[in-house]
Structure 1
């Protein structure tokens, strides 16, 4: 059996690489050591309501690859849901392929589009569809002596190649610029194997994705909620890390959490993308909520007591959400994996969130996030279309 559940808990970046992208946080590994709080696990008493099996917590290291870690964790839980033995999917193989595609877009757009480590949840589905998948032990991305991801030098090298291509010094692009860029990426992350052995059988990345992972990328949808666009239609989510300009479905605010609740009840986990820069988000304490009182108006004592047990929250409306998005107060700075539902000692519901910053906080790599936080700070969610309530799926014209 797999030790993949969060049940052993008591029930239970953002430092960006940020020059060009919000989602590409560079959360340093060393900053996560000894990161437990003194009292969160006693101040909050969580009781699990739904706890869906998931694979062990990982650490993205010094790389802005949360989107790949969270969405691949989501795919691993999908394998479990489908009755398969889960395998750790190489997060860096996914990221490597996205970097190649992003580089192509960057040059085609004359440099006028996001570059960097960042990405979106749908990038994992898109790269899976085009490039397949590899197990983690076949493609670790640790190709130059590091024991954890460290991408800053690679990013700088790659950016230099792409900027040279955009300047077009020959007056006509040669076909070699993409070879030069790809060679930079592969020099740091490793060459992609054309074939490999897994459990005694030979695979390519495409056959491994089809025969071992076994998900159908067409079964997965991305959903957001912004009042400026017509509901139950698709729109381009205008955030820097949507470099591929993918479309997302638009639903009403309360439906965003209705969809997550329905998915969890039916045994589906959910990928989550959003903003974790709020003062009510505490990785150390393992809790995220939206205080009813503005932080700037709090006394020093109130600020110190932010995580000394459950507090009253601000009620989130469509207008509040839209304003925060428009003012850059809600950005696409992190991705995580929703794996369950819990209640605190007052009966308030929180989503159980799996992070990719290692197991150093109060809940060994997991967090508890209120529904109000999700309504306010989400940029998008990713899930199997079977997890959407039937009436909402019908409005979206999604066939389940």
Structure 2
């Protein structure tokens, strides 16, 4: 999730998010559906309020902590607001060390991936937002533009120093930059009248990396094996289990129906993605691509109308039928990249009964659905880079194929 312009520019507990609907008037013209989408929520998991990553490329931390918070609700642990910036701060440190070990021959940016939050919790624990907000000097919104530049410049200077050796103190200098921008890390804190360390807090919450599995659906690696997915922000070389495209969709459905939220890495760079409009779709590119089942509904829809409505993000459109080959080609051509991390929180349907997924975003309570939007099933199958789910939410037959107990 690296494109922060996509990822970042753009308080009552919400347990079982309200079934928001687009109530725009629905009209028909010459047999063509010209109205707006109307969504009805069918399945919802418990979630905490929408947050705002603001001017930071840290969507991966917001989606990962949102998943942890949802898990705590599902397990009856109560309402928690966990610190995204605690995760970000320690991830910056780990990334810088990996970058130095590789002599600067790696990606070092704000981005991260699906496994990063639970990886950091395992190593460093976790704290509440009230203990570590990452905001300084009266700031109310995150802005990491200067921080990311400073960290990269410092680490590059250390790696390229004339002695060609690293001293033991370079990490102290790195921590000094992180302290200056995000604040020093507390060794102990008090929460609800009890004293904790970050690790003892994580232990009490029961957040464990081993409980979660990261999956993808690619054809350039064998099925049912695990491999480090080749995306720039997979700095830690985290393994992704490879399943079929159909199995990936099935895992999402089963997880949500069992009450488990799904951490979702996807591409949001194409015209079919319209956060302000509250939907993400994969519209056909020409009338010839309209599936037979939809031909009567969109009878007479021209190529020019399709292009116009796709660009303007208006009206309901027929969608492409997705294949594994299409997925792989889009990945290989850099058309599907690790743009953004979000949380899948429900299953919905539009007015024609087509399946959509309700998505919790991290751009504040903005857009048509105040921080949420709906992604179609074709969009999920086509544009998903990877998902992270609780191992107990994976169907047993797929776990057997993967060798997961």
* Both proteins in one fold, TM over 0.5: yes
Per-residue deviation, 1:11: 3.6
One of 303, 309, 319 as aligned partner of 2:308: 303
- The 5-angstrom pairing of residues 6-17 of structure 1 reads 7-11=17-21
Query: Which has the higher mean CA deviation after the structures are superposed, 199-208 or 305-314?
Result: 305-314
CA RMSD of aligned residues (A): 2.0
Aligned residues: 372
The aligned counterpart of 1:3 is 13
One of 207, 215, 238 as aligned partner of 2:207: 215
Could you tell me how far apart the structure 2 residues matched to 1:302 and 1:227 are?
A: 30
Q: Which runs of 5+ in 2 are unaligned?
A: 1-10, 27-34, 288-301
Per-residue deviation, 1:39: 7.6
One of 336, 339, 344 as aligned partner of 1:333: 339
Question: Quick check: 1:82 aligned with 2:60?
Answer: no
Question: Quick check: 1:248 aligned with 2:254?
Answer: no
Question: Quick check: 1:258 aligned with 2:282?
Answer: no
Could you tell me how far apart the structure 1 residues matched to 2:59 and 2:353 are?
A: 31
The aligned counterpart of 2:5 is none
Q: Is residue 50–residue 341 contact of structure 1 (8 Å, CA) maintained in 2?
A: yes
Q: Is residue 143–residue 188 contact of structure 1 (8 Å, CA) maintained in 2?
A: yes
Question: Quick check: 1:113 aligned with 2:106?
Answer: yes
Query: Normalised by the size of structure 1, how large is the TM-score?
Result: 0.89
The aligned counterpart of 2:179 is 186
Per-residue deviation, 1:143: 1.8
Q: 1:38 to 1:184 in 2, by over 3 A?
A: farther
Q: 1:210 to 1:2 in 2, by over 3 A?
A: farther
Larger radius of gyration: 2
Q: 1:49 to 1:9 in 2, by over 3 A?
A: closer
Could you tell me how far apart the structure 2 residues matched to 1:397 and 1:199 are?
A: 41
Q: 1:177 to 1:372 in 2, by over 3 A?
A: same
Could you tell me how far apart the structure 2 residues matched to 1:262 and 1:394 are?
A: 16
Q: Is residue 9–residue 364 contact of structure 1 (8 Å, CA) maintained in 2?
A: no
- The 5-angstrom pairing of residues 1-400 of structure 1 reads 3-5=13-15, 7-11=17-21, 43-211=36-204, 213-293=205-285, 298-299=303-304, 302-304=307-309, 307-399=313-405
Could you tell me how far apart the structure 2 residues matched to 1:110 and 1:39 are?
A: 58
SS at match of 2:219: coil
Q: Which runs of 5+ in 1 are unaligned?
A: 13-36
Q: Structure 1, residues 161-195: CA drift from partner, whole Å, max 9, x if none?
A: 10111103223211111111111011100000000
The aligned counterpart of 1:28 is none
Q: 1:278 to 1:334 in 2, by over 3 A?
A: same
The aligned counterpart of 2:299 is none
Could you tell me how far apart the structure 2 residues matched to 1:397 and 1:346 are?
A: 39
Could you tell me how far apart the structure 2 residues matched to 1:352 and 1:146 are?
A: 31
Could you tell me how far apart the structure 2 residues matched to 1:304 and 1:290 are?
A: 12
